Amino acid sequence: MALPVEEWRRSAARCWAVLEPALRERLAAAPLGEALRMGCGLFGPEEAALQRLCRRARTGKEPAAARFYREEGNRQFGRCCYRDAVRLYSQAAAHEPPRSPEVALCFANRSAALFHLGHFEVCLEDIARAESHGYPDRLLPKVLLRKAECLLRLGKLQDATDTLTAVENKMTVDGIMTSPIHRMLLKKLSQLKTEIHEGSCPEPAREAHGDIQRESEIWEENGSISGASSSLSLNFSTERGRHLVASQDILPGQNLLKEKAFVSVLCPGEGDSLLLQDSSETVWDTRVTNADLYCHHCLKQLLASIPCCGCSYAKYCSQNCADVAWEQYHRTECPLGALLLTLGVFCHVALRTVLLAGFSEVSRLVEWSRDDSNKDLCNAEAGGEHPSEVLDTRAGRKVIPGCNDNGQYQSSYQAVFNLLPHVEKHSPEHKFLCMLSIVAICKKLQETGLEAAVLNGESSTTGSEQKTCGKTSDELSPELMIMAEAMLRHVLQLQCNAQAITVMQELESGDGAVVNKKPVRLATAFFPVLSLLNHSCSPNISVSFSGTAATVRASQPIPSGQEIFHCYDEAIKMLLKCQIDARNFLSPEHLLMGELEDHLAQVYATLGKWQEAARHLGRSIQLVEMHHGPSSVEMGHELFKLAQILFNGFAVSEALSTIQRAEEILSVHCGPQSTQIQELQEMKTCLLELPRSILQRT
């Protein structure tokens, strides 16, 4: 949810509608800083409504929720649904107080489920967490036996022996050896000691190493554009603004840019409304959202999450990610969790951007933008006298906006700040909504005493003085007003500069014989260099993501001098290509007909009717090729599905030719190391290893 919840949007619209026409005109024409000053006085009447909405976002730690999720986890564990149990125990841990016996119990329970899933290393990590968080001493023997068994499975015989010795000593010291549970533990202890003595432990788990070698590629980084290939150059014109062009001929599949997001915020996903339910409801939902599946810092897929110590929402893949996030931004965001979920991802990105940049850098650039002598530089892309560069009157030289003093365009806050907010193109009502939302965040920072943290301790007043002042004043401090102005600028920038970080997520596919995936928006981010690419519904590049990093590859030959184009939004691309109207709706060539054929193929694949599945998917592929092109990434994904169907249907020659086509397309768009490429090569290897007589028959 990029924008605030609908109720807050309606509340802001009502507030705007009752303003005097003269005041509306002043707000619409005012610079961002002046609009914020006026907005502080207008926010008061709306504050109570926003507070009511925030109470629906349940981000605090609630013992009732912890009990519910723990009991649900136990229920799923009893049904041998261990993956579901892991997720539910993670939810329970997120609601328990940090470093408590209760959270230790969640980690111990989760370790049991992880053991059954074969994740022995992660199981050991959870056991260590349980011990460090105060796991009850009387229950330790059972957990330590599980630890010894994990070590045994990993081939760490000496460590397993030492652990078993510690278990034996503890049980002897405790002197409680007669209960059924302890008799069971003694039996397990004897079993494990025998396995170690006889050396009958299973082969230690080894990390999987793909046979695919990374193709050697000559990568010469651009000296002027950080993360970009030397085959690109940065240009500027009044018509195109800043843009990248090919400085030499570029081949399909060639890497053009590798950039880590300056800032990214995880989108809760399709189930984000679950976090905004009525506070009177006591039924806890067990449905999964992106917030449960991915690390809130690095966006790595989660198995056994580490909860935030202050809220139940933020979850991390490791203690290191949790610590880094806390130091960089979450210390400030944590108490604002409900407000940020209510105001939407764009406001959250804006706040995190200024937190990462720091008050000193934000202040420098805001003050620079207010300087009248820099107005031409700030507005250059809206039109100017210099078609290829802009005059910086203070320095007496010509530069491209966003570049540093050395003329380099880096993935930095200065580059983010110089992305165009297009203030004049937003409706006055939308700017008013954004302004009220930013005022709400800053007011909350003052009320909770977090202003000092936002300003990195650079304010002249102490934290306690700021807190007291914030409670009695309707205005923002000068320092916080600077941060607010930058945040408002960033929210407006995001309307046309936000980049969706996507992942290929599996859909339900019956018995799992055919893996059906679709791209899902995982996070919203600022990529300053990637934002230099102008939009086209016929792009000549593909963008893929690994965590918070983007890789741009050429999807077709790009001759020297041609501009590099990116499709900003697949929805725009689909709408323009479909051209839906009453006359062609559900015509034989409509994309929805392709989706119907795709779904029929999935049904037949589930039934094991591979020829029928291939026939229906073939019709879908024809429509995908017609609408997206024979070398599009969409075509690659469809061929990947067809390859799986032909593989399972034992149509060897057709499968091999389809695998080759899918490889050629997906290696260009996703790179040779992508998961789909590796799966295709595994299928090909399997087919080629079949007896020659079978290959000849097929």
Give the integer Cα–Cα distance in Å for 654 and 649: 10
As beta bridge partners, residue 543 has 552
Q: What is the mean pLDDT of residues 512-533?
A: 85
Q: What is the pTM of this model?
A: 0.83
Element housing 121 (H / E) = helix 120-132
Q: How many of the other CB atoms lie within 10 Å of CB of 414?
A: 19
User: What's the pLDDT at 461?
Assistant: 38
Note whether 558 and 249 are within 8 A (CB): yes
Beta-ladder partners of 228: 257
Residue 660 has what pLDDT?
94
pLDDT tens digits, residue range 645-686?
999 888 889 999 999 999 999 999 888 888 889 999 999 999
* 49, two tokens: 């409504």
Spatial separation of the C-alpha atoms in residues 363 and 346, rounded to whole Å: 21
pLDDT at 466 over 80: no
Half-sphere exposure of 533 (CA within 13 A, CB side): 29
The answer, yes or no, to whether residue 622 has pLDDT greater than 80, is yes
d(CA 93, CA 87): 10
C-beta of residue 110 within 8 angstroms of C-beta of residue 91: no
What pLDDT score was predicted for residue 196?
62
pLDDT for res 428: 94
pLDDT at 288 over 70: yes
Report pLDDT for 207: 42
> In this structure, are residues 290 and 314 in contact, taking their beta carbons and an 8 Å threshold?
no
Cα distance between residue 633 and residue 666, in whole Å: 6
One DSSP character per residue, 629-683 reads -TTSHHHHHHHHHHHHHHHHTT-HHHHHHHHHHHHHHHHHHH-TTSHHHHHHHHH
* CA quadruple 592, 596, 598, 602: dihedral sign: positive
Per-residue pLDDT tens over the stretch 119-148: 999 999 999 999 999 898 888 888 998 998
* Nearest to 436, CA basis, from 105, 153, 46: 46
Does pLDDT of 24 surpass 80?
Answer: yes
Between CA 80 and CA 84 the distance in angstroms is 9
What is the band of 22 on the pLDDT scale with cuts at 50, 70, 90? very high
Spacing of C-alpha 165 from chain mean position: 44
Percent of the chain with pLDDT over 70: 80
Average pLDDT, the chain: 83
- For residues 90, 94, 95, 99, the Cα torsion angle rounded to the nearest 10 degrees is 110
d(CA 7, CA 16): 14
Confidence of residue 574 (pLDDT cuts 50, 70, 90): very low
CA 106 to chain centre: 26
- Segment 55-61 shows an average pLDDT of 89
| Consecutive H or E run containing 120 | helix 120-132
Predicted confidence at residue 188, as pLDDT, reads: 65
pLDDT tens digits for range 244-273: 999 999 999 999 999 999 999 999 865 454
- Return the ∠ at Cα 92 (arms to 87 and 94), rounded to 5°: 95
Q: Is the pLDDT of residue 607 over 70?
A: yes
Would you place residue 462 in the very low, low, confident or very high pLDDT band (cuts 50, 70, 90)? very low
Q: Specify the pLDDT at position 210.
A: 40
Residue 164 CA to residue 194 CA, distance in Å, equals 11
Residue 676 is encoded by which pair of tokens? 């789909």
Backbone angles phi, psi at 479, to 5 degrees: -65, -45
Residue 214, both tokens? 């990374």
